[in-house]
Structure 1
Amino acid sequence: MEPGRSLELLARGWPVGEAKVRITLEELGGNHCRVSMAEDAIRGPGKVVPKALRDPMITVRNRETLRRLELMAAGGAGKPS
């Protein structure tokens, strides 16, 4: 962890194995920042899936995760979209 900059997590998802997830914050000025996520399998069956196949699946999931995080930050979590 780098306070105010990044957080690295170990995600465990049975039965596909484990992944390393890095969440990064980039200051944009004022009260704004950009949050990004990078993830990749590091252990288990998910690791044997070719990267070219697993990346699109991970990207879809991470976009949804960031969308939900944005709703939470804006106070709109749980409201119909």
Structure 2
Amino acid sequence: MDRSITPRLLTASEAAAYFRLPVTRFRRLRLGEVSLGAKVLYDRHALDAYLDHISGLGRSGQPISEADAALARFVARPRRTSRNP
């Protein structure tokens, strides 16, 4: 992998390190999960949106509006995958 590219999708270990949490605790949060086949990765943008939300800040460092907070909650929700046979 080209190290000059910052990956948007993180492994559980990378995402946990990003949050400075143990991997098992981070996985229980179920934030920003993206399922690619059997592999589960974590979307850095969704993780950032969640952190912005819980800190009460938007990306600009300014307090966020209620609409932006609702969007951050939506983005941070775990995705359900359909299991059609």
TM-score calculated relative to the size of structure 2:
0.30
